[in-house]
Every structure is written in structure tokens, then in C-alpha cells.
């Protein structure tokens, strides 16, 4: 019955969602990553498919099963994720960047396992490409939605990202509270767009995903008469 509410809101809309963490290789056995579970992105993919969208889920390493009627593309690094994302542009009408993309990667990946040597070590890091911003600045630009993970000044930082990345909407997520957000089952967010914002109280990620899909569909894919 829950599915009926959202049904067909995104009928036939081609969409791409990124989810989960990325892993940035240090050597063949080690990497830099983060605690993202992928739950929010997978919940969005399921909710969007329920709403009739044709969904490609570009996923970093997670332990989650692929939602029904969703095409999953597995990636490891931020660079892999960008390539897989770019391959969907052209057809893509709605992009949601939900992945916790590593901001930096090791400048060099060692070909062999690095042997320990000395009491300290350094790894030089270089900036990764910004996937959601690349999408938003692309000539075949879809409606572009991002997330903002913040531990302080949530709305101010999120509005800054909305503007700097040229997004249509950003979902601001307070990750200082471990009961919600990163790796939790629940989430509480504020959806922010240029002319307004909407706080969505704490609830399960599946329920929240359905609300976000409905909001995005209403804002950007409903014929306005
Ligand atoms: N993002 C991305 N590519 C990156 C980094 C982030 O696509 N290399 C996307 C995330 O998927 C999210 C949004 O940008 O939709 C915001 O991510 P966040 O980590 O909150 O912001 P950053 O711009 O990376 O800024 P910072 O981590 O410094 O706060
Ligand atoms: Ca970041």
C-alpha cells in the first residue's frame, strides 16, 4: 500500500544515483575510505524504481542487495564512479549524488604491498574530481541533487554547496548525531533549494527516501498548469 502513494510519480524518467563509499587504493591490500553504508542511496534507488523511474545505481563497495528493478554498476574508486556516471549522461534526466566520495586519493598507488619502515610514514594525497558538480556543469545536464554531510552549521554549509556545485536541490544531513545519517538506519534531513527548504523529521531511510522522491518529483517533474 505504501508503494501506491508514489507510483508513477517518476514514470519513465531515466535516473542515476551514486551510493556508498569509495575506496582509494594505497597499495594492493590497503585503501582509504569512510563509514558510509550505502543505505540511503539504495533506499532512494528502490523508492525511485517504485515511482516508475528507470534507475542506474552506481555503487561503491557495500553489503547491500540490489533493489528490484534497479540496474547496479559496481565501482571502487571516485575516478571509477565518475566514469560510470559520465557514461549515463545524455539519457539521464535526474541525478542524485548520494555517495560518500573520498575527497582525496593517494597520489601514487604502490604496485606491491608497502613494507613498514621507521616509526612514522606519510602518504601524499591528491584531490578527487567532484562528481555531482561535474554532472551539474555538464552540457547534458540532468536535474542534479546532492547531499551535504555536516557536523556543524548544517544549513549554511549546505546552501554554500547548493550554490557552488550549481545543484537544483541539496539534502542536508547532520552527521554529528550517530543515531542518524552515516551508517545508521534512520535519518533526519533538510531539503534545500534556491527558493525554499523543508525539514523532514527523523524516520527510517526507506520512508525518508519515499518522501524525498515525492518532493523531487513534485518540484521538477510535475507539469505545472
Ligand atoms: N561529492 C561528489 N564528489 C566528490 C565529493 C563530494 O560528487 N569528490 C558529492 C557528494 O556525493 C554529495 C555532495 O558532493 O552529494 C557533498 O558532499 P560533501 O562531502 O558533503 O561535500 P564536499 O563538497 O566534499 O565538501 P566537504 O567534504 O569539504 O565538506
Ligand atoms: Ca567531502
Provide the ipTM: 0.99
- What whole-number distance in Å separates Cα of residue 92 and Cα of residue 59? 16
Nearest residue (CA) to ligand 1, atom 17: 148
- Residue 177 annotated among the catalytic residues of the structure: no
pTM listed for this prediction? 0.95
Model confidence at 223: pLDDT above 90: no
Q: What is the pLDDT of residues 145-200, one digit of tens each?
A: 999 999 999 999 999 999 999 999 999 998 887 777 677 888 889 999 999 999 99
**What is the arithmetic mean of pLDDT over 24-37?**
97
Model confidence at 225: pLDDT above 50: no
Per-position b or e across 56-75, b if 16+ CB within 10 A of its CB:
bbbbbebebeebeebebbeb
CB 161 near ligand 1, within 6 Å: yes
**What is the arithmetic mean of pLDDT over 43-55?**
98
Alpha helices in the chain (DSSP H): 2-6, 39-50, 78-86, 131-136, 154-164, 205-220
- The grid coordinates of residue 165 equal 556545485
CB 148 near ligand 1, within 6 Å: yes
Amino acid at each position: 500500500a505504501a508503494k501506491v502513494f508514489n507510483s508513477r510519480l517518476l514514470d519513465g524518467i531515466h535516473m542515476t544515483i551514486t551510493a556508498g563509499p569509495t575506496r582509494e587504493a594505497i597499495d594492493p591490500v590497503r585503501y582509504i575510505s569512510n563509514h558510509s553504508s550505502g543505505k540511503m542511496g539504495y533506499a532512494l534507488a528502490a523508492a525511485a524504481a517504485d515511482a516508475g523511474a528507470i534507475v542506474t545505481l552506481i555503487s561503491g563497495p557495500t553489503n547491500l542487495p540490489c533493489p528490484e528493478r534497479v540496474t547496479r554498476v559496481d565501482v571502487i574508486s571516485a575516478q571509477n564512479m565518475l566514469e560510470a556516471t559520465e557514461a549515463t549522461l545524455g539519457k539521464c534526466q535526474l541525478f542524485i549524488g548520494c555517495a560518500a566520495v573520498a575527497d582525496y586519493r593517494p597520489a601514487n598507488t604502490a604496485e606491491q604491498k608497502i613494507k613498514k619502515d621507521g616509526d612514522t610514514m606519510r602518504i601524499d594525497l591528491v584531490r578527487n574530481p567532484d562528481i555531482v558538480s561535474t554532472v551539474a556543469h555538464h552540457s547534458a545536464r540532468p536535474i542534479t541533487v546532492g547531499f551535504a554531510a555536516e557536523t556543524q552549521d548544517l544549513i549554511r554549509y549546505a546552501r554554500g554547496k547548493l550554490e557552488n556545485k550549481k545543484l537544483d536541490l541539496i539534502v542536508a544531513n547532520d552527521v554529528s548525531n550517530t543515531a542518524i545519517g552515516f551508517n545508521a538506519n534512520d535519518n533526519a534531513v533538510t531539503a534545500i533549494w534556491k527558493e525554499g527548504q523543508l525539514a523532514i523529521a527523523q524516520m527510517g531511510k526507506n520512508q525518508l527516501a519515499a518522501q524525498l522522491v515525492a518532493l523531487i518529483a513534485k518540484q521538477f517533474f510535475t507539469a505545472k498548469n
